[in-house]
Structure 1
């Protein structure tokens, strides 16, 4: 019988947030506080992360690092232990940014019914709450110690990429980013939240039993109000972002098909309301993005043998789509979104997701 994992943990922080970090550590039952050893030298998440990873305790099989600006359930360590039991050799990520490619990938996985998804190799690996096996910790510290980069999330991806095994992302997000300030220079990204936020009770069975989406054929995502497609999964960190029209031939779909669906199935009144609030181009891009998202999620579910059902899965899907509209806006527009507008964006996205799921996921059913 495999021995039970033993997990040590650290909360990493900067002196200006020490009290906040101490409160979080007490809430989670974490005994190690990793404080920036040279806070006067300018921001460097990596410098503090190296301290945190160096706190892996003797006899531990895995080490969890949590950043100080998050909210998390008191049972986080127990959830992590269960995940480590399932995936003892993987890097495990428990928070995924809503506006990044990994966030779009998590939404796709949520709609497909998955509990975990393999991270995008071309992108940073979110490190607000990440757990590594101790043998990876040793190699990562050696690798990162030679880096001139200050963003630990970029360095972690650079470390994992050549191994051909990016981190597993927990699709239900039990860890949430709080605040908009950033010691490490990310404040310009605006409001940053989890892609698929879910409470502990619903997340627990999904993390314990949910299937793993390893790699979709292609990934629709949005950046600053514009739609893109990722069609290559080769580990090329410098690969650019392909606008969806340019990448569409890789999907087997055509603009003619999509234009036809827009004309027939897009709710005109909601499109006009979204256009008045955020611009007609954004209204077009969001609906087409969600259309492609619905098609690809349904295709992934079918390859698995059918969609996963259950109340917790439905709540996960609902929460995933609830963040789509807000996250796809330019950062400077997010704070102005009212609750009514957020609800409008969510309903608008759902209309496209359902259309894509029904009419685009199977070439034999398009029309």
Structure 2
């Protein structure tokens, strides 16, 4: 598709209207859409339906942003180029750092992909989404009869019906800001991007980057513990895909004995002890095992995929990877603990995370009782 015309809107509530107007002015967006019933029960879906209706005549695609985000001034051009590459897909330009979609973005960053398909069992990150106009109208009709107030959950339900979840940008050019939640989500704590990067060069990465459609086993952290989304013979294992890592190991092609051996023999004891003192020893164990499994999955995908790095590979590719790795440790903490992490503790967590990823990358793909040796490319986390 060459004739792409994108209209755009910011959805907001009257108490955040100045912020929304400022965002629209900075990004050159077409309209600001205010909650049509601001005194009614809080409902993001109510405002989203109005925002998805605010399509400029002649537009082929419509971009909707929430008011509590930050984005580069070049966002519209970045979206336009992304739409030219993926004209029929729902495109999301943010993923929260403590979600399965955020974990999918990290895995994609580790293997050099420019996009990753969203997780079907999870809400679609709705902070910045672009839909084809026909899809936007279909979604509005679908949402009209919903009693749900969460636009992200209803958008996922709609996309599941179409059989194609959103494509999520890797890296995320849109960042979530620390503001009060209109719909009462403050208990989620700080909700930042899984892979935040806003430099101009990422447009080429998104325009040409390959798509990670099916990551296979997807390790992720949830409530301070390691999980994995895996598929067995009868579908996704666990409730809504949540399976603790010991349960998931047979589907990841490894054993708990192997994991325990690697933890015992390769985990840096001094760093593990420091993380344990700061955040709890159970959390330290779970985080390192998660990183071990994530690194292993990244190595397996790198070996098996016929597609390699996008054409902007090199320093930008490393910055994308570094951005994803830097958010992993803090985001894995419980919500109430994230906001009090000191810079030195964040640095400690990143060092710890990188050690687990390196060991996972060096882990042989086949079942083996041999402890892997680190070296060469395996050092690149």
Given the two structures, how large is their TM-score scaled by the length of structure 1?
A: 0.96
CA distance in 2 between counterparts of 1:366 and 1:141 reads 55
Paired residue for 2:360?
Answer: 356
Q: Give the drift of 1:158.
A: 0.2
Q: 1:304 Cα deviation (Å)?
A: 1.8
Determine the structure 2 residue equivalent to 1:297: 298
Structure 1: gaps (5+ residues): none
Query: Distance between the aligned counterparts of 2:52 and 2:15, measured in 1?
Result: 21
Matched, 1:114 2:113: yes
Deviations 1:240-289 (A, max 9, x none): 52111112111110011111111111000000000000000000000000
Once residues 19 and 261 of structure 1 are traced to their aligned partners in structure 2, the CA distance between those partners, rounded to angstroms, is 53
Larger displacement relative to structure 2 (201-210 or 312-321): 201-210
**What is the deviation of 1:3?**
3.5
Residues 121 and 236 in structure 1, CA contact (< 8 A), matched pair in contact too: no
* Larger deviation, residues 195-204 vs 334-343: 195-204
Query: Secondary structure of the residue that 1:248 maps to in structure 2?
Result: helix
The within-5 A match list for 1:248-287 is: 248-287=249-288
Q: Distance in 1 between matches of 2:99 and 2:370?
A: 30
Whole-angstrom CA distance in 2 between matches of 1:105 and 1:365? 29
What are the within-5 Å matches in structure 2 for residues 200-239 of structure 1?
200-232=199-231, 239=240
Q: How far did residue 162 of structure 1 move?
A: 1.9
Aligned partner of residue 200 in structure 1, secondary structure: coil
Partner of 2:177: 178
Distance 2:261 2:13 in 1: 53
Deviations 1:123-175 (A, max 9, x none): 00000000000110111000001100000000000000022110000011111
State the alpha-carbon separation in 2 of the partners of residues 17 and 121 from structure 1: 31
CA contact 2:4–2:60 (8 Å) conserved in 1: yes
Q: 1:204 to 1:364 in 2, by over 3 A?
A: farther
Which residue of the partner structure matches residue 25 of structure 2? Answer: 26
Whichever structure has more helix as a proportion of its residues is 1
The 3-state SS of whatever aligns with 1:11 is: strand
TM-superposed CA distance for 1:31, in Å, is 2.0
Q: Specify the alignment match of 1:195 in structure 2.
A: 194
CA distance, structure 1, for counterparts of residue 179 and residue 262 of structure 2: 38
How much is the aligned-residue C-alpha RMSD, in angstroms?
Answer: 1.7
Contact residue 359 and residue 365 of structure 1 kept, 8 A: no
Give the TM-score taking structure 2 as reference length: 0.93
**Structure 1 residues 223 and 139, CA gap change in structure 2 (3 angstroms):** same
Unaligned ranges ≥5, structure 2: 372-381
Alignment of 1:335 with 2:339, yes or no, is yes
Deviations 1:57-109 (A, max 9, x none): 22110000001001101110000000000000000000100011100110011
For each residue in 1:9-29, what CA deviation from the matched residue of structure 2 results, as whole angstroms up to 9, or x when unmatched? Answer: 000000000000000000011
Contact 1:180 1:192 in 2 (8 A): no
2:3 matched to which residue of 1?
4
Counterpart secondary structure, 1:10: strand
Between stretches 294-303 and 120-129, larger displacement belongs to 294-303
